[in-house]
Amino acid sequence: MTGYILRRLVSAIPVLLGITVIVFLIMAMIPGDPATAILGSYATPENVARINASLGLDKPLVQRYFIWLGHMLTGDFGRSYALNRPVLDEILDRFSATMVLAGTSFVLCAILGVLAGVVSAARQYGWADRAITFVVLIGISVPSFFLGMMMILIFAVRLKWLPVSGMYAIYGGGDLADLARHLAMPALALAAVATGVIARMARSAMLEVLRQDYIRTARAKGVSETRVVLRHALKAAMVSILPVLGLQAGFVLSGAVYIEMVFQWPGVGRMLVDAILKRDILLVQGGVVFVAACYVVFNIAVDVVQGLLDPRIKA
């Protein structure tokens, strides 16, 4: 297993290197530069040149790429000019916030989605199935930012049940209950789409599995129906649900961009959008590489779990 993980990690290196090239080129191609972003209306060519030189942007492209890559390999992601602090500090700060949000959402959508799919499959064409199918369809048919905005309007502004935005109360907060209050709306809004996708996938995977001969065998043994569904069928269905979970993790991470903007969550998605708009090159590059690396690692983890779940897959 360790060997397998190592092999997968090694094979991820070219992918990550490719991503460094893509993100670097994109940032080089986008019109506008950090100097314009810093100086705004005062961006005279002279001032721009001075600032670009002080940021090292006057060097040739290829040289800049290798300087950046070299520094990054030593753990130095550079300094964000727009936030005036080391890129890595900012990413780590922001990333932990995103992990709380996206992680909660992901757990929420994985549990709710699989549960909905299982119930829906086990009660196929029953009222529970129809209700779930309907709710799930709503979930995947509404833009998440719209859902978020509506939630703020209803639960925060009108009913005043929940705080509008942010991660912790500015004063007197900081505990888990406070975090939960701030997390409730964004996590649900973010989970909606993925829950829908997972529920649909889980439903059809369960239906597929429930048709299998080994399910009939379990029934012929006299295994109770609950156990047939939750143990025999679900475990087998998880084999095809897991890759979807892996894929959805990527979508949740991306969808976090909108949700973080609407709910002012101090996460990495919003950071990257701001950074692109401010042409904060090093922050964008570092952030994207970091997010991509997490995505890759997460998918390796999914494959490993898959291997543990299904002994037929040779690890």
- With binding defined as CB under 8 A, does residue 302 bind other proteins? no
Shortest distance, position 74 Cβ to other proteins, whole Å: 18
In the complex, the smallest distance separating the C-beta of residue 108 from other proteins, rounded to whole angstroms, is 7
Angle (CA) 92 145 200, round 5°:
95
Q: Which of residues 128-147 bind other proteins (CB under 8 A)?
A: 133, 137-138, 140-143, 145-146
How far, in whole angstroms, is CA 26 from its chain's centroid? Answer: 21
**Minimum distance from residue 66 beta carbon to other proteins (Å):** 19
**Token representation of residue 23:** 């993100």
* Residue from the set 68, 90, 113, 249 that interacts with other proteins by CB under 8 A: 90
- The pair of structure tokens assigned to 112 is 């709710």
Contacts of 165 (CB under 8 A, 6+ apart): 152, 182, 262, 263, 264, 265
Establish if 162 lies at the interface with other proteins (CB under 8 A): yes
Q: For residue 91, give both structure tokens.
A: 């990413």
Among 119, 241, 296, 300, binds other proteins (CB under 8 A): 296
Q: What tokens does 291 get?
A: 């997010």
Residue 80 phi, psi dihedral angles, 5° rounding:
-75, 125
Residue 13 binds other proteins, judged by CB under 8 A: no
Q: Within positions 23 to 62, which residues make up the interface with other proteins, using CB under 8 A?
A: 23, 26-27, 29-33, 36-47, 50-51, 54-55
d(CA 213, CA 123): 20
Q: Answer yes or no whether residue 190 interacts with other proteins by CB under 8 A.
A: no
- Our finding on whether 156 is near other proteins (CB under 8 A) is yes
9 binds other proteins (CB under 8 A): no
Task: Quickly count: other Cβ atoms within 10 Å of residue 124's Cβ.
Answer: 14
Check residue 161 for interaction with other proteins (CB under 8 A): yes
Number of residues written out for the chain = 315
**In the bound complex, what is the minimum distance in angstroms from residue 266's beta carbon to other proteins?**
3
Q: Does the footprint of other proteins cover residue 285 (CB under 8 A)?
A: no
